[in-house]
Structure 1
C-alpha cells in the first residue's frame, strides 16, 4: 500500500520522523511518498523516498489521484484536510499533530483547525505528549485517536568511536527562536565556564528559518557574555552525521543541553540517548517520555537557571552518575522507541481504519 505524507518544510523533528517511519514500515509492505510545500535543508537526508515539492493545489491534487494513495497523512496543515474531501479523495485522511511550539500557540492552532479537521479527518495521530493529548481530547473528542511514541533506528543511530576531545563539550540543538529558549542555554554555559574555563558549546542550528531580529539578539547576547570564543556553530549538519557529534560530546565528559519551553516530542534528546550522550533538559512536556530524572537523564524547571547549573555541574563532576545515565538511557530507548514497535502500532491503526 502507499501513503502520502504532507508537511510544510523538510526540517527538524518532523522531517526526521517522516524518514524513520518510512523505514520502519517498508518491511510491512507500506511505501511512503513525501510532499513538502517548500524546499528545505532536510532534503539532503532523504535517500529512498519519492519526494514532491509544491504548494500548488492543482499539482497536489494531481499527485494524489495519479498515485492512488490508500491514505494521506497531513501534519499540521489543517486547511488541506477538508480540501482532499472536496476534491473527491476516497482514501483515509489522517491528521497528525507534532510540535506546535509553546502551549498558547498550540491551543490557538487547535482552535483554528476545528472546522477543517472535525468534519473531514478520519483519524488523529499524536505522540504521547501530555499537552497534545489533552488538547486533542478537548477539541477532537469524536474523531478516532491514535497515540503512540515516535521511533528511532538504533542500528544506524548509535554511538561511534571518535577521536577523544580533551575538554568537556555541551551540545545544543535547535532553531534560534523563543520556544527553544537559547538565552537560558547561553546563561548556563556562561556560568559553568567560571569553573570549567576550557568548556565549549557546540550549537547545531537551522539558520534557514531564523528571523533577522532574533539572530541579532542572539549575536548580541553572545558578545555581551564574552562567549564568542567558546561556541562552535554547525548549520544543517546531515542527519546521518549527527551520531558522530553526539558520541564525541558524551565521550568528552559533556552532555546535550535542551532548554525548550515546550517540546512536542524532542528528537534531539532521543538521538543523544541512542549515542550514549547524557542529556540535561528542561521539564518541557514532550521529553517526559524519555527523561526520567536521575535515571535516564536530568530535568530542571524551565527558566530555573540555578537548578539547571546545579544539575549540569553534577554531570560534569561525577562520571559515575554520567555513566549510569548513559546505560539507563540506551536501555530505555531499546524498550520503548524501536522501529518494530512503531510499525506494530501504526499497522494496527491502519487495520482499525480498514485499509491494511
Structure 2
C-alpha cells in the first residue's frame, strides 16, 4: 500500500516526522512518499524513499497517477483537497494538523476549512494536541478523528557521549518569529548570566523561514543585551548532527529552553529528552504529552522571566532532581513515542476509513 504525505516545505518538525514515519511504516508493508511544494533545508537529510518537490499541476498529476496512493495525508493545507480532486485523485484524504501557532489562528483556519474538509476529508489526525482536538470535536463532529503521539526513533537519535563543554549551555530551537518567542529566550538568558557568568547561549534555527522584520529586531536585541560574545547561532544543522549538540548541552550542566507561546507537538523537545538534555518549557499546550513538571522536565509561566530563571536554576543546580529528570525523560520518549506503536495506530486509522 502506498501513502503520500503532503506539506509546504521540508523543514522543522514535519520533515522529521515524515522521514521517521515513512521508514517505520515500510516495516509494516506501507510505502510512504513525501511531496513538498518548495525546497527547504530538510532536503539535506538523507532519505531512502521517494521525495518530490513541486507545485506544478502536471508534475503533481503524474505523481498521483503513478503512485497509486490509497491515502493522501495533507498536513495543514486543507485548500489542496479540491486541487487534488480536480487532478483526478479519488482515494482517501486525511487532514493532519501538527500546529498553527497561536490558538486564534488555529480556530480561524479550521473554521474557514469546514466546507472543504466536510466535502473531502475521510479522517482528521493530530498528535494529541489539546486545543486542536477540541476544535476537531467542535467543528467536525461527523468526521472520524484520530489522536495519537508522533513517532520518534529513540534508537537512532539518542544520547552521544562527547567531550564535556567547559561552560554551561542554554539552548533554543525554532524560527525567528513571534510565536517561537525568541525575545523571551534572550531575556531569560541575559538574566541567567547574573548567576552563571560563563554561561553560553546556543540557538538553532532555519533562516529560510524566518520573518525579515523579526530578524532585524533580533539583531538589535542581542546588541542591546550585550549577548554577542556568549551567543552562538547555528543555521540548518543536519538533523543527525543535532543529537551531538543536544547531548553536549545536557552534559554541560545546561538545558534546552523552549519559550513558544503555542505548540502542536514539538520535535525539538523530544529530541532533547532522548539525548538526556533537560527541558524547561512554557506550558504551550502541545507539550502536554511529553513534559510532566519535575518528572520529565520543567514548566515556567509564559512571560514570567523571574519564574523561568528560578526554574532554570533549580534544574541546573539540584543534581539529584536533574539526573532524575534526565533518566525519566529519556525513558518516556522511548515508551510514549515508540515508532512501532505509531505504526500500529496509523494502520488502525487506515483500516477504519
1:254 maps to what in 2?
Answer: 254
Could you tell me how far 1:210 is from its partner in structure 2?
1.5
Could you tell me how far 1:166 is from its partner in structure 2?
1.2
- Secondary structure of 1:234 counterpart: strand
2:194 maps to what in 1?
Answer: 194
2:294 maps to what in 1?
Answer: 294
2:72 maps to what in 1?
Answer: 72
Structure 2 distance, partners of 1:212, 1:337, is 35
CA-to-partner distance for each residue in 1:67-118, whole Å, 9 max, x for gaps? 2111111111111112323444221111111111111111111122112111
Could you tell me how far 1:66 is from its partner in structure 2?
1.8
TM-score by length of 2: 0.98
Structure 1 gaps, min length 5: none
Could you tell me how far 1:253 is from its partner in structure 2?
0.3
1:38 maps to what in 2?
Answer: 38
Could you tell me how far 1:141 is from its partner in structure 2?
1.2
2:121 maps to what in 1?
Answer: 121
2:280 maps to what in 1?
Answer: 280
2:334 maps to what in 1?
Answer: 334
2:216 maps to what in 1?
Answer: 216
Q: Which stretch shifts more, 221-230 or 88-97?
A: 88-97
Structure 2 distance, partners of 1:317, 1:61, is 57
Could you tell me how far 1:247 is from its partner in structure 2?
0.3
**1:11-90 matches, cutoff 5 A:** 11-90=11-90
> Alpha carbon RMSD of aligned pairs, Å?
1.0
CA-to-partner distance for each residue in 1:162-213, whole Å, 9 max, x for gaps? 1111110011000000000011101111001011010001100111111221
Q: Given that residues 82 and 117 in structure 1 are in contact (C-alpha distance below 8 angstroms), is that contact kept between their aligned partners in structure 2?
A: no
Aligned length: 353
Could you tell me how far 1:58 is from its partner in structure 2?
2.8
Could you tell me how far 1:47 is from its partner in structure 2?
1.8
Structure 2 distance, partners of 1:168, 1:317, is 11
2:346 maps to what in 1?
Answer: 346
1:103 maps to what in 2?
Answer: 103
Could you tell me how far 1:158 is from its partner in structure 2?
0.6
- Secondary structure of 1:333 counterpart: helix
TM-score by length of 1: 0.97
Structure 2 distance, partners of 1:236, 1:337, is 25
Structure 2 gaps, min length 5: none
Q: Given that residues 253 and 319 in structure 1 are in contact (C-alpha distance below 8 angstroms), is that contact kept between their aligned partners in structure 2?
A: no
Structure 1 distance, partners of 2:336, 2:70, is 28
